[in-house]
Structure 1
Protein backbone atom coordinates (compact mmCIF):
# COMPACT_ATOMS: atom_id res chain seq x y z
CA UNK A 1 0.00 0.00 0.00
CA UNK A 2 1.33 3.44 -0.87
CA UNK A 3 2.30 5.92 1.84
CA UNK A 4 -0.06 8.76 2.67
CA UNK A 5 -0.37 11.42 0.03
CA UNK A 6 0.67 14.99 0.66
CA UNK A 7 -1.90 17.72 1.15
CA UNK A 8 -1.64 20.53 -1.37
CA UNK A 9 -3.34 23.85 -1.71
CA UNK A 10 -5.13 24.11 -5.03
CA UNK A 11 -5.64 27.40 -6.83
CA UNK A 12 -9.08 26.22 -7.88
CA UNK A 13 -10.28 26.95 -4.35
CA UNK A 14 -11.56 30.23 -5.76
CA UNK A 15 -14.24 28.18 -7.55
CA UNK A 16 -15.40 26.78 -4.21
CA UNK A 17 -15.54 29.93 -2.11
CA UNK A 18 -13.87 28.20 0.85
CA UNK A 19 -10.26 27.37 1.72
CA UNK A 20 -9.48 23.83 0.62
CA UNK A 21 -6.82 21.17 0.83
CA UNK A 22 -6.61 18.66 -2.00
CA UNK A 23 -5.48 15.06 -1.54
CA UNK A 24 -4.51 12.91 -4.50
CA UNK A 25 -3.42 9.28 -4.56
CA UNK A 26 -0.96 7.65 -6.95
CA UNK A 27 -3.59 6.10 -9.23
CA UNK A 28 -5.84 7.77 -11.78
CA UNK A 29 -8.95 8.85 -9.87
CA UNK A 30 -12.41 7.48 -10.54
CA UNK A 31 -14.09 9.47 -7.78
CA UNK A 32 -14.24 13.07 -6.61
CA UNK A 33 -14.99 13.45 -2.90
CA UNK A 34 -16.11 16.54 -1.04
CA UNK A 35 -14.70 15.97 2.44
CA UNK A 36 -15.85 17.79 5.58
CA UNK A 37 -13.60 17.59 8.63
CA UNK A 38 -14.61 16.83 12.21
CA UNK A 39 -14.16 18.96 15.30
CA UNK A 40 -17.67 18.95 16.80
CA UNK A 41 -18.68 22.07 14.84
CA UNK A 42 -16.14 24.09 16.84
CA UNK A 43 -12.74 23.61 15.19
CA UNK A 44 -11.52 24.74 11.80
CA UNK A 45 -9.54 22.48 9.50
CA UNK A 46 -6.16 23.61 10.82
CA UNK A 47 -7.00 22.06 14.20
CA UNK A 48 -8.37 18.77 12.84
CA UNK A 49 -6.64 15.64 11.63
CA UNK A 50 -6.77 14.82 7.92
CA UNK A 51 -6.56 11.03 8.20
CA UNK A 52 -9.94 10.31 6.59
CA UNK A 53 -9.17 12.55 3.60
CA UNK A 54 -5.74 10.92 3.15
CA UNK A 55 -7.13 7.40 3.32
CA UNK A 56 -9.84 8.25 0.80
CA UNK A 57 -7.18 9.59 -1.58
CA UNK A 58 -5.15 6.40 -1.16
CA UNK A 59 -8.33 4.47 -1.96
CA UNK A 60 -8.51 6.08 -5.40
CA UNK A 61 -10.28 9.44 -5.06
CA UNK A 62 -9.41 13.07 -5.51
CA UNK A 63 -10.44 14.51 -2.16
CA UNK A 64 -11.29 18.18 -1.78
CA UNK A 65 -11.42 18.94 1.94
CA UNK A 66 -13.16 22.22 2.68
CA UNK A 67 -12.68 24.48 5.68
CA UNK A 68 -16.33 25.25 6.38
CA UNK A 69 -17.48 27.96 8.85
CA UNK A 70 -17.60 26.81 12.48
CA UNK A 71 -18.17 28.08 15.99
CA UNK A 72 -20.97 30.00 17.67
CA UNK A 73 -20.64 32.82 15.14
CA UNK A 74 -21.72 30.43 12.37
CA UNK A 75 -24.69 28.34 13.59
CA UNK A 76 -26.86 26.14 11.39
CA UNK A 77 -27.31 26.43 8.45
CA UNK A 78 -24.13 28.40 7.64
CA UNK A 79 -21.84 25.38 7.27
CA UNK A 80 -24.45 23.41 5.33
CA UNK A 81 -25.06 26.22 2.86
CA UNK A 82 -21.33 26.69 2.34
CA UNK A 83 -20.92 22.96 1.84
CA UNK A 84 -23.73 22.81 -0.71
CA UNK A 85 -22.21 25.65 -2.73
CA UNK A 86 -18.92 23.75 -2.69
CA UNK A 87 -20.67 20.57 -3.81
CA UNK A 88 -22.34 22.38 -6.70
CA UNK A 89 -18.99 23.84 -7.74
CA UNK A 90 -17.29 20.44 -7.68
CA UNK A 91 -20.07 18.98 -9.82
CA UNK A 92 -19.78 21.77 -12.37
CA UNK A 93 -15.98 21.77 -12.51
CA UNK A 94 -15.27 18.08 -11.87
CA UNK A 95 -13.06 17.88 -14.98
CA UNK A 96 -10.71 20.47 -13.47
CA UNK A 97 -10.48 18.60 -10.17
CA UNK A 98 -10.40 14.99 -11.40
CA UNK A 99 -11.91 14.10 -14.78
CA UNK A 100 -15.27 14.70 -16.40
CA UNK A 101 -16.52 11.17 -15.65
CA UNK A 102 -15.45 11.11 -12.01
CA UNK A 103 -18.32 10.11 -9.73
CA UNK A 104 -19.19 12.54 -6.95
CA UNK A 105 -19.27 11.63 -3.24
CA UNK A 106 -19.62 13.38 0.09
CA UNK A 107 -17.66 12.25 3.13
CA UNK A 108 -16.95 13.42 6.65
CA UNK A 109 -16.20 12.42 10.19
CA UNK A 110 -18.00 13.54 13.35
CA UNK A 111 -19.52 16.97 12.63
CA UNK A 112 -18.35 16.58 9.04
CA UNK A 113 -20.31 13.33 8.91
CA UNK A 114 -23.39 15.25 9.97
CA UNK A 115 -22.85 17.71 7.14
CA UNK A 116 -22.18 14.93 4.62
CA UNK A 117 -25.44 13.20 5.55
CA UNK A 118 -27.33 16.50 5.37
CA UNK A 119 -25.77 17.37 2.01
CA UNK A 120 -26.96 14.04 0.63
CA UNK A 121 -30.50 14.95 1.71
CA UNK A 122 -30.20 18.48 0.36
CA UNK A 123 -28.88 17.29 -3.02
CA UNK A 124 -31.82 14.87 -3.23
CA UNK A 125 -34.33 17.58 -2.36
CA UNK A 126 -32.79 20.18 -4.68
CA UNK A 127 -32.62 17.82 -7.63
CA UNK A 128 -28.82 17.54 -7.60
CA UNK A 129 -25.92 17.39 -7.81
CA UNK A 130 -26.26 13.65 -8.29
CA UNK A 131 -24.19 11.73 -5.75
CA UNK A 132 -22.77 8.24 -6.12
CA UNK A 133 -22.41 7.76 -2.38
CA UNK A 134 -21.99 9.14 1.12
CA UNK A 135 -19.20 8.10 3.48
CA UNK A 136 -19.99 8.76 7.13
CA UNK A 137 -17.30 8.17 9.75
CA UNK A 138 -18.72 8.36 13.28
CA UNK A 139 -21.23 11.02 12.24
CA UNK A 140 -22.77 13.39 14.80
CA UNK A 141 -26.45 12.86 14.04
CA UNK A 142 -28.48 13.09 17.25
CA UNK A 143 -28.33 16.19 19.49
CA UNK A 144 -30.18 14.37 22.27
CA UNK A 145 -26.96 12.53 23.18
CA UNK A 146 -29.06 9.90 24.93
CA UNK A 147 -27.60 6.69 23.53
CA UNK A 148 -25.81 4.15 25.69
CA UNK A 149 -22.51 4.73 23.88
CA UNK A 150 -22.68 8.47 24.59
CA UNK A 151 -23.60 7.86 28.22
CA UNK A 152 -20.60 5.56 28.60
CA UNK A 153 -18.33 8.38 27.42
CA UNK A 154 -20.11 11.19 29.23
CA UNK A 155 -17.85 11.08 32.28
CA UNK A 156 -14.91 12.10 30.10
CA UNK A 157 -14.24 15.05 27.82
CA UNK A 158 -15.89 13.44 24.79
CA UNK A 159 -19.45 13.86 26.06
CA UNK A 160 -18.92 17.49 27.03
CA UNK A 161 -17.27 18.29 23.70
CA UNK A 162 -20.20 16.82 21.77
CA UNK A 163 -22.75 18.67 23.90
CA UNK A 164 -20.91 21.97 23.48
CA UNK A 165 -20.66 21.38 19.74
CA UNK A 166 -24.38 20.78 19.35
CA UNK A 167 -25.18 23.83 21.48
CA UNK A 168 -23.07 26.09 19.28
CA UNK A 169 -24.24 24.56 16.01
CA UNK A 170 -27.97 24.60 16.61
CA UNK A 171 -28.15 28.04 18.15
CA UNK A 172 -31.87 27.60 18.88
CA UNK A 173 -33.18 24.38 20.50
CA UNK A 174 -36.07 24.06 18.06
CA UNK A 175 -33.62 23.51 15.20
CA UNK A 176 -32.90 20.06 16.62
CA UNK A 177 -36.06 18.94 14.81
CA UNK A 178 -34.74 20.03 11.40
CA UNK A 179 -33.61 16.98 9.41
CA UNK A 180 -30.71 18.86 7.82
CA UNK A 181 -29.45 19.93 11.25
CA UNK A 182 -29.98 16.57 12.96
CA UNK A 183 -30.18 13.79 10.35
CA UNK A 184 -31.14 11.28 13.06
CA UNK A 185 -34.49 13.08 13.18
CA UNK A 186 -35.12 12.88 9.44
CA UNK A 187 -38.36 11.12 8.57
CA UNK A 188 -37.63 10.82 4.82
CA UNK A 189 -34.61 8.73 3.96
CA UNK A 190 -35.73 7.33 0.61
CA UNK A 191 -33.85 8.16 -2.61
CA UNK A 192 -30.58 8.89 -0.84
CA UNK A 193 -27.29 7.66 -2.33
CA UNK A 194 -25.58 4.49 -1.10
CA UNK A 195 -23.88 4.88 2.26
CA UNK A 196 -20.81 3.54 4.02
CA UNK A 197 -20.89 4.10 7.79
CA UNK A 198 -17.80 3.47 9.91
CA UNK A 199 -17.57 3.61 13.68
CA UNK A 200 -15.45 2.02 16.41
CA UNK A 201 -16.01 -0.17 19.44
CA UNK A 202 -15.38 2.57 22.02
CA UNK A 203 -16.82 5.42 19.94
CA UNK A 204 -19.34 7.65 21.78
CA UNK A 205 -21.19 7.94 18.46
CA UNK A 206 -21.33 4.16 17.93
CA UNK A 207 -25.04 3.70 18.62
CA UNK A 208 -26.34 6.59 16.54
CA UNK A 209 -24.03 5.66 13.64
CA UNK A 210 -25.33 2.10 13.53
CA UNK A 211 -28.92 3.19 14.03
CA UNK A 212 -28.71 5.58 11.08
CA UNK A 213 -27.31 2.85 8.85
CA UNK A 214 -30.16 0.56 9.90
CA UNK A 215 -32.72 3.24 9.09
CA UNK A 216 -31.17 3.80 5.66
CA UNK A 217 -31.46 0.09 4.90
CA UNK A 218 -35.07 0.09 6.10
CA UNK A 219 -35.75 2.96 3.68
CA UNK A 220 -34.41 0.90 0.79
CA UNK A 221 -30.96 2.50 0.62
CA UNK A 222 -27.83 0.44 -0.01
CA UNK A 223 -26.00 1.02 3.26
CA UNK A 224 -23.33 -0.91 5.09
CA UNK A 225 -21.89 -0.29 8.54
CA UNK A 226 -18.67 -1.50 10.13
CA UNK A 227 -17.44 -1.36 13.73
CA UNK A 228 -13.66 -1.14 13.65
CA UNK A 229 -11.38 -2.33 16.48
CA UNK A 230 -10.01 1.16 16.90
CA UNK A 231 -8.15 2.45 19.96
CA UNK A 232 -9.36 5.31 22.11
CA UNK A 233 -9.22 8.54 20.15
CA UNK A 234 -11.09 7.33 17.08
CA UNK A 235 -11.30 8.65 14.42
CA UNK A 236 -8.20 10.76 15.11
CA UNK A 237 -6.27 7.55 15.77
CA UNK A 238 -6.34 6.95 12.02
CA UNK A 239 -3.94 9.83 11.61
CA UNK A 240 -0.76 8.30 13.02
CA UNK A 241 2.33 8.12 10.83
CA UNK A 242 2.72 5.13 8.53
CA UNK A 243 5.69 3.87 10.55
CA UNK A 244 3.36 3.09 13.44
CA UNK A 245 0.05 3.17 11.59
CA UNK A 246 -3.08 2.48 13.59
CA UNK A 247 -4.21 -1.10 12.86
CA UNK A 248 -7.61 0.26 11.91
CA UNK A 249 -6.20 2.47 9.12
CA UNK A 250 -5.63 -0.33 6.57
CA UNK A 251 -9.11 -1.63 7.32
CA UNK A 252 -10.67 1.78 6.73
CA UNK A 253 -8.63 2.24 3.55
CA UNK A 254 -9.82 -1.11 2.19
CA UNK A 255 -13.44 -0.35 3.07
CA UNK A 256 -13.20 3.02 1.31
CA UNK A 257 -11.67 1.36 -1.76
CA UNK A 258 -14.32 -1.37 -1.82
CA UNK A 259 -17.14 1.16 -1.47
CA UNK A 260 -15.82 3.30 -4.32
CA UNK A 261 -15.55 0.19 -6.50
CA UNK A 262 -18.95 -1.21 -5.57
CA UNK A 263 -20.79 2.04 -6.22
CA UNK A 264 -19.20 2.17 -9.67
CA UNK A 265 -21.24 -0.92 -10.50
CA UNK A 266 -24.55 0.57 -9.37
CA UNK A 267 -24.29 4.24 -10.37
CA UNK A 268 -23.72 5.76 -13.78
CA UNK A 269 -20.91 8.25 -14.47
CA UNK A 270 -22.09 11.81 -15.08
CA UNK A 271 -23.10 12.96 -18.51
CA UNK A 272 -20.67 15.29 -20.20
CA UNK A 273 -23.08 18.20 -19.90
CA UNK A 274 -23.31 17.72 -16.14
CA UNK A 275 -19.64 17.19 -15.43
CA UNK A 276 -17.84 19.49 -17.85
CA UNK A 277 -16.14 22.65 -16.66
CA UNK A 278 -17.78 25.74 -18.06
Structure 2
Protein backbone atom coordinates (compact mmCIF):
# COMPACT_ATOMS: atom_id res chain seq x y z
CA UNK A 1 0.00 0.00 0.00
CA UNK A 2 1.45 3.37 -1.03
CA UNK A 3 2.02 5.98 1.62
CA UNK A 4 0.21 9.27 1.24
CA UNK A 5 2.37 12.22 0.13
CA UNK A 6 3.27 14.54 2.95
CA UNK A 7 1.01 17.59 2.96
CA UNK A 8 1.37 20.86 4.94
CA UNK A 9 -1.56 21.83 7.14
CA UNK A 10 -1.25 25.18 8.90
CA UNK A 11 -2.50 24.06 12.30
CA UNK A 12 -0.49 20.81 12.33
CA UNK A 13 3.20 20.21 12.71
CA UNK A 14 4.99 20.61 9.38
CA UNK A 15 6.17 17.39 7.76
CA UNK A 16 9.91 16.77 8.15
CA UNK A 17 10.59 16.82 4.42
CA UNK A 18 9.12 20.34 4.10
CA UNK A 19 11.08 21.56 7.15
CA UNK A 20 14.31 20.21 5.69
CA UNK A 21 13.58 21.84 2.32
CA UNK A 22 13.04 25.31 3.79
CA UNK A 23 16.10 25.02 6.02
CA UNK A 24 18.12 24.91 2.81
CA UNK A 25 16.13 27.28 0.58
CA UNK A 26 15.52 30.20 2.99
CA UNK A 27 19.22 30.82 3.85
CA UNK A 28 20.09 30.66 0.15
CA UNK A 29 17.47 33.28 -0.73
CA UNK A 30 18.63 35.49 2.17
CA UNK A 31 22.24 35.33 0.96
CA UNK A 32 21.16 36.16 -2.59
CA UNK A 33 19.13 39.14 -1.37
CA UNK A 34 22.07 40.45 0.68
CA UNK A 35 24.46 40.00 -2.26
CA UNK A 36 22.12 41.86 -4.64
CA UNK A 37 21.72 44.70 -2.14
CA UNK A 38 25.49 45.05 -1.72
CA UNK A 39 26.05 44.95 -5.49
CA UNK A 40 23.43 47.63 -6.12
CA UNK A 41 24.86 49.93 -3.45
CA UNK A 42 28.42 49.57 -4.76
CA UNK A 43 27.41 50.24 -8.36
CA UNK A 44 25.12 53.19 -7.72
CA UNK A 45 26.26 56.60 -8.95
CA UNK A 46 27.42 58.83 -6.13
CA UNK A 47 25.13 61.68 -5.14
CA UNK A 48 28.22 63.69 -4.21
CA UNK A 49 29.59 65.20 -1.04
CA UNK A 50 27.76 68.49 -1.24
CA UNK A 51 26.72 69.80 2.17
CA UNK A 52 23.80 72.17 2.79
CA UNK A 53 23.39 73.53 6.29
CA UNK A 54 19.71 73.75 7.25
CA UNK A 55 20.08 75.34 10.67
CA UNK A 56 23.62 76.63 11.26
CA UNK A 57 23.82 80.16 9.91
CA UNK A 58 27.06 81.63 8.62
CA UNK A 59 27.93 85.33 8.33
CA UNK A 60 30.08 86.45 5.41
CA UNK A 61 31.54 89.77 4.34
CA UNK A 62 32.59 90.70 0.83
CA UNK A 63 32.12 92.88 -2.22
CA UNK A 64 28.70 92.29 -3.83
CA UNK A 65 28.13 92.10 -7.58
CA UNK A 66 24.77 91.21 -9.15
CA UNK A 67 25.45 90.62 -12.85
CA UNK A 68 24.53 88.11 -14.04
CA UNK A 69 24.02 86.48 -10.62
CA UNK A 70 24.54 87.75 -7.05
CA UNK A 71 28.07 86.91 -5.91
CA UNK A 72 30.01 87.99 -2.83
CA UNK A 73 33.72 88.43 -3.69
CA UNK A 74 36.87 88.63 -1.53
CA UNK A 75 35.27 86.52 1.23
CA UNK A 76 37.57 85.44 4.07
CA UNK A 77 41.31 85.01 4.06
CA UNK A 78 41.10 82.89 0.90
CA UNK A 79 39.31 85.72 -0.97
CA UNK A 80 36.66 83.31 -2.19
CA UNK A 81 33.72 84.16 -4.42
CA UNK A 82 30.43 82.97 -2.89
CA UNK A 83 27.22 82.62 -4.93
CA UNK A 84 24.14 84.07 -3.21
CA UNK A 85 20.66 82.60 -3.71
CA UNK A 86 17.26 82.92 -2.08
CA UNK A 87 16.10 80.33 0.45
CA UNK A 88 13.53 79.14 -2.08
CA UNK A 89 13.66 78.33 -5.80
CA UNK A 90 14.56 81.81 -6.96
CA UNK A 91 17.33 84.35 -7.36
CA UNK A 92 18.40 86.65 -4.53
CA UNK A 93 18.81 89.52 -7.00
CA UNK A 94 15.75 91.51 -5.92
CA UNK A 95 16.62 91.15 -2.25
CA UNK A 96 20.20 92.33 -2.72
CA UNK A 97 19.63 94.96 -5.43
CA UNK A 98 20.01 97.94 -3.03
CA UNK A 99 23.48 96.76 -1.99
CA UNK A 100 25.07 96.20 -5.41
CA UNK A 101 28.74 97.15 -5.79
CA UNK A 102 29.25 97.67 -2.08
CA UNK A 103 31.11 95.86 0.67
CA UNK A 104 28.45 94.15 2.79
CA UNK A 105 27.96 91.63 5.59
CA UNK A 106 25.12 89.12 5.22
CA UNK A 107 24.03 85.94 7.02
CA UNK A 108 22.52 82.79 5.60
CA UNK A 109 22.74 79.03 5.33
CA UNK A 110 25.93 77.82 3.59
CA UNK A 111 26.18 75.19 0.85
CA UNK A 112 29.56 73.66 0.03
CA UNK A 113 30.78 71.24 -2.63
CA UNK A 114 34.45 71.06 -3.55
CA UNK A 115 35.70 74.42 -4.82
CA UNK A 116 32.20 75.92 -4.76
CA UNK A 117 30.51 77.81 -1.93
CA UNK A 118 26.97 79.19 -1.90
CA UNK A 119 24.93 81.07 0.69
CA UNK A 120 21.14 80.80 0.98
CA UNK A 121 19.93 84.24 2.02
CA UNK A 122 16.48 84.43 3.69
CA UNK A 123 14.02 87.17 2.76
CA UNK A 124 14.32 88.73 6.22
CA UNK A 125 18.13 88.68 6.22
CA UNK A 126 19.89 91.64 7.79
CA UNK A 127 22.31 93.09 5.29
CA UNK A 128 24.81 95.61 6.59
CA UNK A 129 26.84 97.92 4.39
CA UNK A 130 30.40 97.89 5.68
CA UNK A 131 31.65 100.49 3.24
CA UNK A 132 31.12 101.75 -0.26
CA UNK A 133 34.47 100.52 -1.53
CA UNK A 134 34.32 101.58 -5.12
CA UNK A 135 37.35 100.52 -7.07
CA UNK A 136 36.91 96.88 -6.10
CA UNK A 137 35.02 96.17 -9.31
CA UNK A 138 35.56 92.59 -10.41
CA UNK A 139 36.71 92.38 -14.01
CA UNK A 140 36.54 89.48 -16.46
CA UNK A 141 39.65 87.56 -17.43
CA UNK A 142 39.48 85.91 -20.84
CA UNK A 143 40.52 82.25 -20.66
CA UNK A 144 39.74 81.00 -24.16
CA UNK A 145 37.11 79.54 -26.48
CA UNK A 146 35.74 76.19 -25.28
CA UNK A 147 33.42 73.37 -26.26
CA UNK A 148 32.08 71.14 -23.50
CA UNK A 149 29.83 68.13 -23.17
CA UNK A 150 28.01 67.60 -19.91
CA UNK A 151 24.80 68.29 -18.06
CA UNK A 152 23.20 71.64 -17.31
CA UNK A 153 22.02 71.66 -13.70
CA UNK A 154 20.71 74.21 -11.24
CA UNK A 155 23.66 75.14 -9.06
CA UNK A 156 21.73 75.36 -5.78
CA UNK A 157 20.47 71.79 -5.73
CA UNK A 158 23.58 70.28 -7.30
CA UNK A 159 25.96 71.86 -4.80
CA UNK A 160 24.21 70.17 -1.90
CA UNK A 161 20.56 71.08 -1.32
CA UNK A 162 19.24 67.96 -3.09
CA UNK A 163 20.67 64.47 -3.50
CA UNK A 164 20.73 63.64 -6.29
CA UNK A 165 20.90 67.18 -7.60
CA UNK A 166 21.22 66.16 -11.24
CA UNK A 167 19.90 63.72 -13.79
CA UNK A 168 16.41 62.99 -15.03
CA UNK A 169 15.01 62.24 -11.58
CA UNK A 170 15.77 65.85 -10.64
CA UNK A 171 14.75 67.50 -13.89
CA UNK A 172 11.41 68.98 -12.78
CA UNK A 173 12.99 70.53 -9.68
CA UNK A 174 15.97 71.86 -11.64
CA UNK A 175 13.71 73.46 -14.24
CA UNK A 176 11.72 75.27 -11.55
CA UNK A 177 14.93 76.54 -9.98
CA UNK A 178 16.19 77.92 -13.29
CA UNK A 179 12.85 79.52 -14.08
CA UNK A 180 13.15 81.24 -10.70
CA UNK A 181 16.57 82.62 -11.58
CA UNK A 182 18.91 80.21 -9.78
CA UNK A 183 22.28 80.29 -11.63
CA UNK A 184 22.63 77.48 -14.21
CA UNK A 185 25.81 75.44 -14.14
CA UNK A 186 27.40 72.98 -16.55
CA UNK A 187 28.87 69.89 -14.88
CA UNK A 188 31.49 68.06 -16.97
CA UNK A 189 34.19 65.42 -16.59
CA UNK A 190 37.55 66.12 -18.22
CA UNK A 191 40.02 63.64 -19.72
CA UNK A 192 41.77 63.22 -16.37
CA UNK A 193 38.51 62.17 -14.73
CA UNK A 194 38.15 65.40 -12.74
CA UNK A 195 34.65 66.78 -12.27
CA UNK A 196 34.41 70.48 -13.11
CA UNK A 197 31.66 73.08 -12.96
CA UNK A 198 31.08 76.28 -14.94
CA UNK A 199 28.42 78.93 -14.42
CA UNK A 200 26.57 79.82 -17.63
CA UNK A 201 25.47 83.24 -18.91
CA UNK A 202 24.18 84.74 -22.15
CA UNK A 203 26.40 86.31 -24.78
CA UNK A 204 25.43 89.78 -23.55
CA UNK A 205 26.43 88.92 -19.96
CA UNK A 206 22.87 88.53 -18.67
CA UNK A 207 21.35 85.60 -16.79
CA UNK A 208 20.89 82.43 -18.85
CA UNK A 209 18.65 80.75 -16.27
CA UNK A 210 15.35 80.99 -18.14
CA UNK A 211 16.74 80.39 -21.69
CA UNK A 212 18.44 77.18 -20.49
CA UNK A 213 15.54 75.86 -18.40
CA UNK A 214 14.32 73.56 -21.19
CA UNK A 215 17.79 72.04 -21.66
CA UNK A 216 18.39 71.04 -18.06
CA UNK A 217 19.17 67.50 -16.83
CA UNK A 218 19.97 66.04 -20.26
CA UNK A 219 23.30 65.52 -22.05
CA UNK A 220 24.31 68.62 -24.03
CA UNK A 221 27.16 70.04 -26.08
CA UNK A 222 27.81 73.77 -25.92
CA UNK A 223 30.46 76.22 -27.06
CA UNK A 224 31.32 79.65 -25.77
CA UNK A 225 33.86 81.95 -24.18
CA UNK A 226 35.40 80.88 -20.89
CA UNK A 227 35.87 83.74 -18.42
CA UNK A 228 37.24 84.09 -14.92
CA UNK A 229 35.42 86.57 -12.70
CA UNK A 230 36.75 86.71 -9.17
CA UNK A 231 37.25 83.07 -8.15
CA UNK A 232 34.46 81.75 -10.39
CA UNK A 233 34.54 80.51 -13.96
CA UNK A 234 31.77 81.30 -16.44
CA UNK A 235 30.95 80.24 -19.99
CA UNK A 236 29.37 83.02 -22.04
CA UNK A 237 27.19 81.40 -24.71
CA UNK A 238 24.24 81.61 -27.03
CA UNK A 239 21.57 79.48 -25.35
CA UNK A 240 19.85 78.75 -28.66
CA UNK A 241 23.01 77.00 -29.91
CA UNK A 242 23.14 74.46 -27.08
CA UNK A 243 22.81 71.02 -28.68
CA UNK A 244 21.00 68.13 -27.05
CA UNK A 245 22.93 64.87 -27.35
CA UNK A 246 21.27 61.56 -28.18
CA UNK A 247 21.20 58.81 -25.60
CA UNK A 248 20.22 58.78 -21.98
CA UNK A 249 23.58 58.21 -20.28
CA UNK A 250 24.72 61.13 -18.14
CA UNK A 251 28.21 61.75 -16.85
CA UNK A 252 29.42 60.40 -13.51
CA UNK A 253 30.00 63.60 -11.59
CA UNK A 254 31.76 62.05 -8.62
CA UNK A 255 31.99 63.09 -5.02
CA UNK A 256 33.06 66.71 -5.38
CA UNK A 257 33.18 69.53 -7.91
CA UNK A 258 36.23 71.61 -8.86
CA UNK A 259 37.08 74.42 -11.24
CA UNK A 260 39.57 74.47 -14.10
CA UNK A 261 43.11 74.66 -12.74
CA UNK A 262 45.65 77.33 -13.66
CA UNK A 263 47.63 74.69 -15.59
CA UNK A 264 44.59 73.73 -17.67
CA UNK A 265 43.84 77.41 -18.34
CA UNK A 266 47.42 77.96 -19.51
CA UNK A 267 47.14 74.95 -21.84
CA UNK A 268 43.82 76.24 -23.17
CA UNK A 269 45.34 79.63 -23.98
CA UNK A 270 48.38 77.95 -25.59
CA UNK A 271 46.14 75.85 -27.86
CA UNK A 272 44.07 78.92 -28.76
CA UNK A 273 47.15 80.98 -29.66
CA UNK A 274 48.36 78.26 -32.00
Scaled by the length of structure 1, the TM-score of the pair is 0.27
Q: Rg bigger for which structure?
A: 2
Scaled by the length of structure 2, the TM-score of the pair is 0.27
Kindly indicate which of the two structures has a greater share of residues assigned to helix: 1
Kindly indicate which of the two structures has a greater share of residues assigned to strand: 2
